[in-house]
A and B are shown apart, each in its own frame.
Chain A
């Protein structure tokens, strides 16, 4: 019988296999055509992941076995068995919720943004096969990650607890069932949200939130310590955590049935175990089936592609202005500024600032330096955190050097945050144009004007932040006016120098071929720029504060230190700002011609 004349149900599995094979082929091709370094990295990562799985498995086996030993119970005075039995409950509940939320972004991409849905749906494969494949494609990486951490612990628990043999395959079965159910529900969630908001906007907001939460999580420990609290865990806190965990393990919560059922089965309580596991698998299958059928229906009927709430279009201006009085895009900065800067420069400045503000994917890239900035500001400015503590016994010379280091060390920190910001703003200034670069290239725009505009786009926001930091430091540390002004000069010039270098390297390695701002990069040349500015920053800053330190050591009048440092630092900073962009100007003329 011809495959196409078979019933849709009969064609389902072969079609799913075909689509999965296509996905595997795409992955294999991208691996095959990758650079050798990337191939080696991929292989090393796979080996490391396998090794990590093995390590977690043996560690769990040993640790859980140790926790179950009777000697520990005698010694510690409490039985950890109820806690251990809560571990599968916790893992399966986390797995379900984790897959439900983490699949959201991937499914949004797969169903709305990948652009292949129309092609797949118009091909002679059952629509169900397309959806199953999309769900599997979205869920497999997350499932792999969950299995990497969860399976070794669950198997370790089984071995150390001498669980029944049936426990082991059922762990995998339940894991797969819960994963599919979560992915199905996540697909429905994606469609509901996309009915209300444009998918691309949802993806932007999601990217921004993910970036922010990741950085906040990675810095939470530091932030906690910064607030002056030491992380110590007492015995009562551990007991409290155990109690909370076990309270979570109630029979009324469906998320607990999988873990509890497996523990019961492993421990030989067959009836309760089989009932709970069967309930979990059955409900998961029902949820998956329901989600699949509903998602297909919503998508095919067009319901999920017709927005209901977002009829409010993205409007940049809500009022219509009379033609004669409309200012140009470069107008808002004022006529005074326009005398100094040409209209094209101002237009590029305003355009770039508008785009940074409107595209949240750009903001998600800037969130790292901003959070670092806030974090270090709190760390350095909070009271009772002297970097160089004053002591009455300390000789005056050390005391004055110490105060210098404390003041200018804080400026150094603001410059470090500025360096991170400039890495994105200046390093990617040209790449950020993407496929729209033709508009600048086809316009009668001088290369110097383009370089000035891109320089200012990166420099102005970074300088503003640096200045604010300086003002805050100076007020809190009661810096003298001379110190304050000198700090402003040092900040402005160091940032300008780094900006020039990063801009030049970014231009040299510009990449205009991207569709998501998070994927743009200036490649190896951009990294080189970052490395060079990492050296340039301390050197320039050294030129500024070195003469001041020398003046303090040799007890020369401070004005000499300011003058010498100001001249030397200004020369180096200005050279960094001007020379590298000047060197790449010819290259900028020929950008995007390959």
Chain B
């Protein structure tokens, strides 16, 4: 890890939708230079937590600090320090890739020259150069995902939050994104990513948080998680299933038999 400043900090984070408790008392920290994996079954509260961190959702209670700024009290500063890649790359379909990046650059009030340089750099690195002047509706899912990442990286954020960044990507693009995230962390950024692919979490993340039914049931390095699990649970898959309940497994094998 490059340094140990806390770049993401949530304290007793709660989100209620009417009677439903989507996120319950989640407290976690992500340090600078750290890749933090956020795991959980479908509907566990991962996306809700992420949306609260990047300022898309107001928490019912609790606090979030991003790069030292309170997301509720200082939303502009917090947002200026973070980049976000959503699970579905909903981008302006009728803008070209290049236009999208410049639009984002303007939203973040980047300097003209830096914006031009950065957008060309990102287009080249993410292999979008050829398609940079085509409108996004002609992009494949993978290209849209990469365009979304490029938009999140335009202002060189200190905090990068990604919701399922590798879904629908070919191995080459997935590898590229993993390399970029690792480099970001090495340069001192905090990377917070949710994923269903446990292999990615196990290989890429310095620490992992597991959320189930809105509650953070475990946080730690792989070794710390192994210590939490039962004897013989050495893989992340075993630990994950042990913590989030494996009753469905038995049911599935019953159905498939």
Chain A residues near B (Cβ < 8 Å):
198, 200, 313-318, 320, 323-331, 342-344, 346-348, 350-351, 354-355, 358-359, 434-436, 438-446, 590, 592-593
Contacts and interface: CB of A to CB of B under 8 A. Distances in A.
B135 interface: yes
A302 to B, nearest CB: 17
A442 B137 contact: no
Interface of B: 54-58, 75-77, 79-80, 82, 84, 86, 88, 90-96, 98-99, 102-110, 112-113, 115-117, 119-120, 131, 133-135, 137-138, 151
Contacts of B110: 328
A331 B138 contact: no
Given A324-B113, A327-B116, 9 more contacts: A314-B138, A317-B96, A317-B98, A329-B102, A329-B105, A346-B106, A444-B75, A445-B76, A445-B79
A457 to B, nearest CB: 14
B99 A443 contact: no
B117 A590 contact: no
Given A355-B95, A438-B56, A328 B115 contact: yes
Nearest to A360: B94
Contact of B107 (A313, A327, A347): A347
A343 B91 contact: no
B175 to A, nearest CB: 26
Contact of B120 (A323, A327, A446): A323
* Smallest CB-CB A-B distances: 3 pairs: A347-B106, A316-B96, A444-B80
B132 to A, nearest CB: 8
Nearest to B17: A594
B107 A315 contact: no
Given A442-B55, A443-B104, A331 B112 contact: yes
Contacts of A355: 92, 94-95
B116 A325 contact: yes
A434 B151 CA distance: 18
A441 B109 contact: no
16 contacts: A200-B137, A316-B96, A316-B133, A318-B133, A323-B120, A326-B119, A328-B102, A331-B112, A346-B106, A351-B95, A355-B94, A355-B95, A439-B151, A443-B79, A444-B80, A593-B57
A325 B116 CA distance: 8
Given A314-B135, A323-B120, A330-B106, A351 B96 contact: no
B102 A323 contact: no
A441 B55 contact: yes
B134 A315 contact: yes
B135 A344 contact: no
Nearest to A331: B112
B133 A440 contact: no
B135 A316 contact: yes
Contact of B94 (A359, A440, A445): A359
Contact of B95 (A200, A316, A320): A316
A366 B91 CA distance: 23
A314 B137 contact: yes
B116 A323 contact: yes
| Most chain A Cβ neighbours within 10 Å, of B103, B106, B120, B133 | B106
Given A344-B106, A443-B108, A438 B96 contact: no
Given A441-B55, A441-B56, A444-B77, A328 B105 contact: yes
A482 to B, nearest CB: 41
A589 to B, nearest CB: 8
Contacts of A198: 138
Given A316-B134, A326-B116, A327-B112, A436 B92 contact: yes
